[in-house]
Amino acid sequence: MKKNFKPESLMMSHGYKPELSEGSIKCPIFQTSTFVFKTAEEGKAFFELAYGLRQKEQDEELGLIYSRINNPNLEILENRLSLWDKADDSAVFESGMSAISTVLLEFLKPGDLLLYSSPTYGGTDHFIHDFLPKIGVDAVAFHAEDSEEEIEAIVKATGKADRLGLIYIETPANPTNSMIDIEMCNRIAANHKNGEGKTYVCVDNTYMGPVWSKPLEIGADLVVYSATKFIGGHSDLIAGAVMGNAELMLRVKTLRTFLGNMVSPHTAWLMLRSLETLKIRMEKQSRNAQKVANFLNTHDKVEKVHYLGLIDENSPNYELYKRQYNAPGAMISFNIKGGEKEAFKFLNSLNLIQLAVSLGSTESLAQHPQTMTHCAIEPKARERMGVTANLVRVSIGVEDADDIISDVEQALNAV
């Protein structure tokens, strides 16, 4: 019966049994490294399952062994997180980067080709270009404006179209909000194989998930998150997550066990608390962002606003927007008239909005991508992706919308 409740209704209780914790209504922090077995036979049975030495009996669950393998905070968190994306399972990591690098390591092997959308998060970009070549994995990029035929041609030109292991995309792209069509990526993946294996599609859904976009429902194989952002939502933790079907998640979790990059019990506990308010925070943030974007769009010191909620209904992008997202999100970028000087003056004049990178948190944040988050990207490529000297990125929080707007207005007036 519980299955019919919406995720936001289940975030306070799902997967937790108070009777196992002295009746405590909230899940305690299980700050422990190891777990005591009742008998040697029980320990043996737990290990047999954990190491895949035999199949699960009916209703048998993996017993608690050691906190690198499993821990109540981790398991309850993963059970709850999976509900948002209707995933079979999820795995939570100590950072978004460790979730992403674990997926790339598990689903790519020497000789494979990775196709990815550019721009991608700076840390991901670094891992793709500075680490993957060391294990013999080649990567090739495409851009939001490339057509399906053009992307197929890019893959073909590598001479490794028969070794396409993974299509990795980030949509909408940071910081310009340009969209990639997930269904198109599924078609490209279906057109290819990786030797005898399947080509998988992985979506970094940090910008829009898990509330505003559900890539697994659109047919992606894996979804990754920086849970530091909307999921954590309070700028007080670093974490990451991966979601997908049972078969793929078993692979991800097995590698996690041996890399040892699972989230700690304390951070998992903080995330359980964050999940209780995830929906209400994100709804408010998106409503606020639409108001701020509307204001920016009419201001005469602003050249152009990049926000999904401003896509014209007659533009070809509108159909994709409606198909892939159920709200415009909380990330806005805009070109201020002028260059770095004007952008910096704006940033330095903000009072309520704080000058910091990261995003998706309760407080509104602003930054300058060209000299901050995207400073390591080669200038020509950066220009091509629209990260210019006059571009400012804002992440809208849960403050009063009129207060945010009045802060933006006074900072624009100061320019």
User: How many CB atoms lie under 10 A from the CB of residue 54?
Assistant: 9
> How many whole angstroms separate alpha carbon 269 and alpha carbon 148?
43
* Residue among 78, 85, 125, 170 that touches ligand PLP (CB under 6 A): 170
Find all residues with CB under 8 Å of 251, minimum gap 6, and list them. 106, 107
Q: Does 171 bind ligand PLP (CB under 6 A)?
A: no
* Residue among 240, 244, 328, 386 that touches ligand PLP (CB under 6 A): 240
Q: Give the footprint of ligand PLP on residues 321-350 (CB under 6 A).
A: none
Please say whether the beta carbons of 369 and 387 come within 8 A. yes
User: How many CB atoms lie under 10 A from the CB of residue 247?
Assistant: 10
Mapped onto helix, strand or coil, the DSSP state of residue 313 is coil
Report, in Å, the least distance between residue 94 CB and ligand PLP.
9
Q: Does 206 bind ligand PLP (CB under 6 A)?
A: yes
> How many whole angstroms separate alpha carbon 215 and alpha carbon 209?
9
> Judging by DSSP bridges, how do beta strands 302-306 and 240-244 pair with one another?
unpaired
Q: Give the footprint of ligand PLP on residues 85-144 (CB under 6 A).
A: 95-97, 121, 123-124
User: Identity (one letter) of the amino acid at 126?
Assistant: H
Q: Give the footprint of ligand PLP on residues 29-88 (CB under 6 A).
A: none
Nearer to ligand PLP, 80 or 374 (CB): 374
Bridge partners (DSSP) of residue 198 are 193
334 alpha carbon, distance to own chain's centre? 22
- How many residues in the shown chain lie near ligand PLP by CB under 6 A? 15
Q: Does 229 bind ligand PLP (CB under 6 A)?
A: yes
Report, in Å, the least distance between residue 123 CB and ligand PLP.
5
Nearer to ligand PLP, 192 or 229 (CB): 229
Nearer to ligand PLP, 72 or 209 (CB): 209
Peptide bond into 210 cis (omega under 30): yes
Nearer to ligand PLP, 120 or 186 (CB): 120
Q: Does 228 bind ligand PLP (CB under 6 A)?
A: yes
Nearer to ligand PLP, 85 or 204 (CB): 204
Torsion sign (Cα): 358, 129, 107, 323? positive
> How many whole angstroms separate alpha carbon 309 and alpha carbon 317?
12
Nearer to ligand PLP, 64 or 185 (CB): 185
Q: Does 238 bind ligand PLP (CB under 6 A)?
A: yes
Catalog residues that contact ligand PLP under the rule CB under 6 A.
95-97, 121, 123-124, 170, 174, 204, 206, 226, 228-229, 238, 240
